[in-house]
């Protein structure tokens, strides 16, 4: 009975930690070609809880302009063991496009072939909007600062030339 209670407590802590991250979890059994998505993952991409999770159904939510980048990152991970992380635009829970970050890691068999990939999905639209605002702010101010510096240098040059006493 004590072991059972320890497992229940451990599972409860894990579930609380997962809910606190605001990330959707996923796992893909490559041999059986079966996926498992957490309820958060379903809701993040606007899928109905209970729909059969699959790689193709998730990939159909990725904006067409990002499908190749996502597929390439996953293939690099599966073939070469490179870190699987990619930011992409995909459909969110309201069906609109927004920014996501997905990452994962594999379990390998004795031949170093991936058999299971697990990871998380995070909705990063807010972070991308902040990034864009910062970019716009710095891109606006940088040309302004360069123009101001140029005018200042021209003023100094003009002052220096006006101070020259003819001989």
How would you write the pLDDT of the chain (167 residues) with one tens digit per residue?
A: 688 888 887 777 877 766 767 899 999 999 999 999 999 999 999 999 989 999 999 999 999 999 999 999 999 999 998 889 999 999 999 999 999 999 999 999 999 999 999 999 999 998 888 877 777 776 666 666 677 667 766 666 666 666 655 55
Q: Which residues, listed in sequence order, are joined to residue 69 by a DSSP beta bridge? A: none
* CATH architecture entry for 2-123: 2-Layer Sandwich (3.30)
Q: Which long-range contacts (CB under 8 A, 24 or more apart) does 16-22 make?
A: 21/120, 22/122, 22/123
Please enumerate in sequence order all residues whose Cβ is within 8 A of that of 18, keeping only pairs 6 or more positions apart, or say none: 25, 38, 40
Question: Length of the chain in residues, anyone?
Answer: 167
27: left (phi over 0), alpha (psi -120 to 50) or beta: beta
* Upper half-sphere CA count for residue 127 (Cβ side, 13 Å): 8
């Amino acid at each position: 009975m004590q072991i059972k209670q320890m497992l229940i407590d451990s599972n409860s802590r894990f579930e609380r930690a997962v809910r606190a991250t605001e990330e959707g979890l996923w796992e893909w059994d490559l041999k059986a070609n079966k996926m498992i998505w957490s309820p958060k993952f379903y809701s993040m991409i606007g899928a109905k809880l209970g729909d059969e999770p699959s790689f193709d159904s998730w990939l159909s939510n990725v904006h067409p302009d990002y499908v190749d980048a996502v597929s390439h990152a996953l293939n690099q991970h599966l073939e070469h063991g490179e870190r699987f992380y990619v930011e992409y635009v995909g459909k969110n829970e309201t069906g609109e496009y927004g920014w996501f970050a997905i990452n994962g890691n594999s379990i390998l068999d004795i031949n170093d072939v991936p058999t299971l990939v697990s990871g998380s999905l995070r909705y990063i639209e807010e972070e991308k909007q902040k990034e864009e605002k910062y970019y716009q702010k710095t891109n606006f101010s940088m040309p302004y600062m360069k123009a101001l510096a140029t005018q200042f240098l021209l003023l100094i040059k003009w002052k220096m030339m006006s101070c020259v006493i003819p001989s």
